[in-house]
């Protein structure tokens, strides 16, 4: 039987670990701090479908204590990747795969080069090369009311793809594993295009929601703000066309889907409200870097990145007297 390790027991990682454990899969969780304490003392709790269940996967902050695994799931925020990658590599059995359940552009997105915005110096790429990776696009929403306590909100969708070898046996095995656990999992022949399509919407509504402190319905209700999202989405679509990830729909098509969510809080808004760092590099810095590589100007993405970054800085230097005097 396949052994699965989950690195990052947050909303999505914890949800996955709990559902796999419920289906009898041998699951280990690499966690730290309050989350590790909760897992070791009380177990992992999942609130879903009107039921509250508790599971006790093996949990540690030391990879050596958990052993080697055929599948290692990286479900961390982008700014934690540099620290999580060595751990994931240490947990990976020979011939095993790393499944990335992360937002935005991943480090392995291009087979021939590193992206400095998400993997400075190509360090992660050296530890976990693209041929050892399966990509995932998650269409679901979960929350963490407390460390080690997961609340499923909506969605069951997982798209799984092997970027190096589409249709591989590893891809099929992971799809089967997730389906057996009750997820709506499907093989995706072009996982890069699927990642870019999700980014096309997330790279706009997520930062704007965090910047303005509003739910997605209010973003779409304001004509000026909605026009700003459209302009950013046009830039992303132009980049996508240059890199083989065309967007087959219009911003209005995407907005119609978002409308169905109602007053929805994006993950980035939830992070800002909780005082957590935001995933700006994977969602905005990376597409801007790619745009520069393929000759696409991104003035709207540049502005959105700069404004969100400035607004969410935990500390800022006090202005000098000279700066205070300027109009």
The catalytic site residues sit at 198
Specify the DSSP class assigned to residue 112: S
Q: What is the Cα–Cα distance from 193 to 197, expressed in whole angstroms? A: 6
Question: What percent of the chain is helix, strand and coil (3-state, nearest 5)?
Answer: 50, 20, 30
| Nearest in space to 229 (alpha carbons), one of 204, 249, 248 | 204
For 213-239, letters b (16+ CB in 10 Å) and e give ebbbeebbeeeebbebbbbbbebbbbb
Contact 310, 284 (CB under 8 A): no
Transcribe 12-42 into DSSP letters: HHHHHHHHHHHTT-EEEEE--HHHHHHHHHT
Number of C-beta neighbours around residue 25 at 10 A? 18
Q: DSSP strand E in 49-164: where?
A: 51-55, 58-60, 69-74, 92-100, 133-146, 149-161
Tokens of 321: 């007297």
Q: DSSP strand E in 170-327: where?
A: 184-187
């Amino acid at each position: 039987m396949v052994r699965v390790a989950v690195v990052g027991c947050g909303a999505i990682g914890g949800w996955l670990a709990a559902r796999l454990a419920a289906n009898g899969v041998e699951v280990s969780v690499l966690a730290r701090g309050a989350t590790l304490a909760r897992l070791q003392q009380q177990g992992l709790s999942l609130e879903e479908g009107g039921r509250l269940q508790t599971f006790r996967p093996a949990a540690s902050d030391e990879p050596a204590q958990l052993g080697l695994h055929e599948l290692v799931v990286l479900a961390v925020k982008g700014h934690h990747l540099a620290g999580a990658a060595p751990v994931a590599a240490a947990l990976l059995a020979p011939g095993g795969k790393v499944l990335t359940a992360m937002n935005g552009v991943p480090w392995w997105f291009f087979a021939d080069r590193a992206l400095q915005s998400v993997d400075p110096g190509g360090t992660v790429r050296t530890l976990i090369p693209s041929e050892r990776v399966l990509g995932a696009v998650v269409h679901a929403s979960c929350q963490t009311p407390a460390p080690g306590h997961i609340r499923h909100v909506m969605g069951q969708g997982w798209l799984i793809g092997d970027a190096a070898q589409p249709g591989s046996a590893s891809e099929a095995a992971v799809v089967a594993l997730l389906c057996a656990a009750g997820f709506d999992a499907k093989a995706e022949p072009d996982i890069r295009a699927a990642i870019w399509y999700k980014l096309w919407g997330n790279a706009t509504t997520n930062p704007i929601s965090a910047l303005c402190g509003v739910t997605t319905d209010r973003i779409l209700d304001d004509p000026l703000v909605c026009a700003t999202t459209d302009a950013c989405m046009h830039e992303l679509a132009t980049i996508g066309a240059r890199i083989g990830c065309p967007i087959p729909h219009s911003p209005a098509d995407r907005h119609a889907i978002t409308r169905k969510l109602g007053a929805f809080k994006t993950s980035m808004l939830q992070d800002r409200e909780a005082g957590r760092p935001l995933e700006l590099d994977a969602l905005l810095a990376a597409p801007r870097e790619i745009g520069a590589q393929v000759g696409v100007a991104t003035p709207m993405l540049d502005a959105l990145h700069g404004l969100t970054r400035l607004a969410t800085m935990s500390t800022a230097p006090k202005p000098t007297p000279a700066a205070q005097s300027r109009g």
